[in-house]
Chains A and B, each alone.
Chain A
Amino acid sequence: MMIAFLSNNEMVPLIEALAKRLEVIAPVLSGGQPVFATWNGQELALDAENPLSSPLEFLLPSREALFRYVQLSGRYTFEEPSLPARLILGIRPCDLFAVEVLDRIMTEEPCDQAYLGRRRSTVLVALNCTRPGSECTCAQMGSGPGCVAGYDLALTPLGDGYLVESGSPAGVLILREHPQFFREASNEEIARKEALLAASREQMIMVRPDLSLQSMQEAISAADWERLGDLCLRCGGCSFICPTCHCFNVLDLGVPDGERIRCADSCILSGFSRMTSGANPRATQGERLANWYRDKFVYMPEKIGLPGCVGCGRCHRVCLARFDRRKLEALP
């Protein structure tokens, strides 16, 4: 592992250099809100709250072409989309953990090549969280506030600059190829990183001391799902915004030539599991909501050995229903 220091005023020159050979995705301000977008000189939003739409969008887009079909005298030829070489800058530990969750699901046999293709052509530069958001619970869910694996480079903001740690050969290469922007990190800076992350962790635990994977599992078994289902507005917002939600629909656009695309779908919506006969194995909103929670907190730990909730807090930020998403109880 290489540990370096990048001062604040070297950040933009570094990104400019990287953007010469890669599409750099970074949090930038758009209409006053931070969003992940292709960087082409916009103001960076690295110290803003983690954007509401997660950078997983660039690994499993909410809409992507699986292939193009072209008809010629009744027969078809198929073209796969070409994938851009990308670097995601500023992916938070929670979202990085979600990448690991998706890796396990999508690349398990039979491997989803469309996902794997994007994943392989994307460099991940993580940004550790020294100032958690008000809904953040990565400390309780075990995904943050500092990332421990899965990154090519990990940045920790130290005030005057960033501690930069390499986590892969691709990360080392970036440090080696751009020596002009980095200097060696001091022991004091390394110690400062640990202290900042420990404080960040403590702050989250202090706000919600009783929350854990186990407390969620208990709440799930005790919940009155039909009551919660009645309170749910059925918008699907929680699932469309969740970084580990990966369910999709497949459809064709265009005749005789066109694209077979996949687009985000949600088990919260009633048509998701409805069958041809009209019968629906999850007939009530309560059953659908229960399935969403069980998938994250019960089924995924069982199937892939990781919780499907990374504690990013996004579902809490978007949900307008009058129930407590952590206690799974109606709000007074």
Chain B
Amino acid sequence: MSEYIPMQAEIEDIDRVTSDTYLISLHILEGKGLSYRPGQFIMVSVFGLGECPISIASSPTRDTLQICIRRAGRITSGIMDSRIGDVLGVRGPCGNGFPLERMGRDILIAGGGSGFATLRSLVNYIVDRRRSFGDVTVIYGARTSQDLYFMQEYKGWQMAGLSVGITVDVGDDSWTGNVGMVTSLLDRLEVSVGSAAICGPPVMINSVANTLLTMGFSNSDIYISLERHMKCGLGKCGHCNIGPHHVCQDGPVFSYDRVRSLLESL
């Protein structure tokens, strides 16, 4: 059968994350469901509108497959305007995911904006397998407090012994927390040097990675999840290439030294 034919997934639940972002729980109607790892993504479709790449926001340690969708255009709006009981198409999982076997026990997780969706999978995985990990720090920044994802989950992460730092670019009256760049949290929290997982806008990725390097992280232990335009998720359509590599197959997670040498070789 053609690998372009998706599985059907019924929407089980829709939760509001921010005004333009929803968390959608899916139940795959065929087979045994999806076996995946944190950092992988799926191709999600609304029949008639098309298909686009979406990170898996849930952890494989939990039963429900979840995606976190931000309204960006036709397809994302189509997904968000669906109702409980509607059917979406799902293909995947695609991509490599975070190399947990190489990341050790002490992990820093840094998210910026909507890039935090893919990191939630990793955070909840660590929470559920807490004893396999050591010092784990989560830092996350969004534009305003209204744009912060998964607010009601931070407490649970802290209770599981993770150290959590949140910041916004622009403060307001309702916000009593940190204001400033994600990197500013690195001075305030005690971070053990180990490995790191970063996802966010390119500027944020670079400034976090550079700060981590000065703190003694090795650039082969810093993992970045990259975004590219993607159409097939199979390494065929050509949209996502960086030089000879397809981000949909060889990525989206790359070590920082590899990303740097890929981009510099162009």
- A: residues with CB less than 8 A from B are 66-67, 69, 71, 74-76, 78, 80, 105-106, 108, 110-114, 246-252, 254-256, 258, 260, 262, 265, 267, 272-277, 279, 281, 287, 290-291, 294-295, 298-299, 302-303
**Nearest CB to that of B202 among chain A residues?**
A279
Query: How far, in angstroms, from A233 to B187 measured CA to CA in the complex?
Result: 50
Given contact pairs A75-B8, A75-B87, A252-B49, enumerate 14 new A-B contacts (beta carbons under 8 Å): A67-B4, A75-B29, A112-B3, A112-B234, A114-B2, A248-B237, A250-B4, A252-B47, A260-B51, A262-B4, A272-B229, A277-B227, A299-B241, A299-B243
Beta-carbon contact of B2 and A71 below 8 Å: no
Q: In whole angstroms, how far apart are the Cα atoms of A194 and B201 in the complex?
A: 60
- Chain A residues near B85: list those with CB within 8 A: 74
| Contact status of A265 and B237, CB under 8 A, knowing A250-B50, A273-B229 | yes
Q: What is the chain A residue whose CB lies nearest that of B29?
A: A75
Which B residues lie within 8 Å of A287 (CB)?
266
The reply to whether the CB of B244 lies closer than 8 angstroms to some CB of chain A is yes
Contact of B8 with A113 in the complex, beta carbons under 8 Å: no
Give the Cβ gap from A137 to chain B, nearest Cβ, in Å: 24
Check B86 for interface membership: any CB of A closer than 8 A: yes
Map CB proximity to A onto B222-253 as digits: 1 under 8 Å, 0 otherwise.
00000111011011111111111000000000
Measured in the bound complex, the distance between the Cα atoms of B4 and A291 in whole Å is 27
What chain A residues lie within 8 Å of B159 (beta carbons)?
Answer: none
Q: How many Å from the CB of A65 to the closest CB on chain B?
A: 10
| Residue on B nearest A81 in the bound complex, by CB | B2
Please determine whether A299 and B244 come into contact, CB atoms closer than 8 angstroms: yes
- Is B50 within 8 A of A247, CB to CB? no
State the total of A-B contacts with C-beta under 8 angstroms: 113
CB–CB B239/A113 < 8 A: no
The residue on A at minimum CB distance from B236 is: A112
B133-170: CB near A (< 8 Å → 1, else 0) gives 00000000000000000000000000000000000000
A-B pairs with the 4 shortest C-beta distances?
A: A247-B238, A255-B48, A299-B244, A66-B4
**Chain A nearest CB: distance from B116 CB in Å?**
15
A67-B5, A80-B1, A110-B3 known; A255-B238 Cβ under 8 A:
no
- Complex Cα gap A309–B177 (Å): 57
Q: How far is the CB of B193 from chain A (nearest CB, A)?
A: 31
Interface SS, B side: loop
20 contacts between A and B (CB under 8 A): A80-B1, A106-B236, A111-B3, A112-B3, A248-B232, A250-B231, A252-B49, A252-B50, A254-B48, A256-B47, A258-B47, A260-B47, A265-B237, A272-B239, A277-B201, A279-B202, A281-B228, A290-B266, A299-B241, A302-B244
Alpha-carbon separation in the docked complex, A106 to B50 (Å):
22
With the chains together, A147 CA to B9 CA distance in Å? 48
Q: Which of A112, A267, A279, A290 has the most CB of B within 10 A?
A: A112
Least CB distance from A229 to B in Å reads 14
Q: Which residues of B contact A (CB under 8 A)?
A: 1-5, 8, 29, 45, 47-51, 72-73, 85-87, 89, 201-202, 227-229, 231-232, 234-244, 266
Given contacts A273-B239, A279-B202, A295-B241, contact A249 B47 (CB under 8 A): no
Interface pair B231/A248, CB less than 8 Å apart: yes
CA distance A43 to B160 in the complex (A): 78
Complex contacts, B2 vs chain A, CB 8 Å: 66-67, 80, 113-114
Are B227 and A249 touching (Cβ within 8 A)?
Answer: no
- Would you give the shortest CB distance from B83 to chain A, in whole angstroms? 10
Give Cα distance in the complex from A287 to B242, angstroms: 12
Q: State how many angstroms separate the Cβ of B88 from the closest Cβ of chain A.
A: 10
Residues of B within 8 A of A250 (CB): 4, 50-51, 231-232, 237
> CA separation between A295 and B243, bound complex, in Å?
7
Residues of A contacting B72 in the complex (Cβ-Cβ under 8 angstroms): 276
Give the chain A neighbours of B231 by CB distance below 8 A: 248-250, 265
Task: Write out the residue numbers on chain A whose beta carbons fall within 8 Å of the beta carbon of B73.
Answer: 276
By a CB distance below 8 angstroms, the chain B residues around A110 are 3, 234-235
Complex CA–CA separation, A237 to B63 (angstroms): 49
Cα-based distance from A108 to B29 in the complex (angstroms): 29
When distances are taken between beta carbons in the complex, the residues of chain B under 8 Å from A273 are 228-229, 239-240
